[in-house]
Amino acid sequence: MNRDIVVIGGGIAGIQSSLDLAEMGFKVYLVEKLPSIGGKMAQLDKTFPTNDCAI
């Protein structure tokens, strides 16, 4: 059985999945179609309800 994991999408969900798995000790391949990760959330100015910076 292979223990590596492919995560498709580098938005907030893909980032969180990847970080959790990587911290558990799994090797993660994070595949993002755009030039950088961050997804929609990177385009946000601030987030509610705490109004702090997005990502």
Partner 1 sequence: MRIGVFICDCGSNIAGHLDCAAVTEYGSNLPGVVYAKENLYTCSEAGIVEIQKGIKDHNLNRVVVASCSPRTHQPLFQSSCAAAGLNPYLFEMVNIRDQCSWVHMQERDRATEKAKDLVRMGVSKAAFLEPQDDIEASLIPRVLVIGAGVAGLSAAETMADMGLEVVLVEKEAEPGGLLNDLYRLSPYGENSSERIGEIIKAVSSKPNVTLYTGSRVEDIGGYIWDVDITVRQGGGETVKEKVGCVVVATGAVPLTPEGLYGYNGRDVITQMELEERLLKGEVEAKGIVMIQCAGARSPEREYCSRICCQTAVKNARLLREQSPETRVHILYRDMQMYGTENEQMLWDARGEGVRFDVFLPDRPPEVGEGKVRFYQPLTGERVEIPCELTVLSTPLVPREDSASLSQLLRVPVDQNGFFLEAHAKLRPLDFATDGIFVCGSARYPANVEEARSQGLGVSSRIATILFKEKLVTSAIVAEIDPATCVGCMGCMEMCPYGAIDYLPEEGVCRVNRILCKGCGCCASTCPSQSAMLKGFKPNQLLAQIRAV
Partner 2 sequence: MLDVGRHPNIELMAYSEVDKVEGEAGAFKVTVRRKARYVDEDRCTGCGACAEKCPTVVSDAFNEGLGQRRAVYSWFAQGIPSTHTIDADHCRQLNGKKCGICKKVCQADAIDFEQQDRFIDIDAGAIIVASGYDVFDASRIPEYQYRQIPNVITAIEFERLLSASGPTSGHLHRPSDLAVEEEIKGLEKKAAKALKMLGKFEKKYEKGSEEFYLEYRDGKYEGDEDRRKWAEKYEAYLAVSGPLEEMKKEAEAFDVAKRLAFVQCVGSRDFRFYPFCSGYCCMHSIKEAIIANEHEPETTSVIFGMDIRAVGKGFEEYKIRGGNQSGISYIRGRVAEIVEGPGHNPVVVYEDTRERKVMEQAFDMVILATACAPSRDVEGLAEILGIEINRFGFFQTGTSQPLDTTRPGIFTCGCAHGPMDIPESVAQASGAAARAAQILTDSRMRKAS
Query: Which positions touch partner 1 (CB under 8 A)?
Result: 12, 19-21, 23-25, 47, 49-50, 52, 55
Output the CA torsion 14→50→24→42 (10° steps). Answer: 30
When asked if residue 52 is in the footprint of partner 2 (CB under 8 A), the reply is: no
Show contacts with partner 2 in window 4-43 (CB under 8 A): 4-43
Say which entry of partner 2, partner 1, none residue 53 contacts (CB below 5 to 8 A, set by partner kind): none
- Asked if 49 interacts with partner 2 (CB under 8 A), we say yes
DSSP summary character for residue 36 = S
Provide CB contacts within 8 A for 29, sequence distance 6+: 4, 5, 6, 7
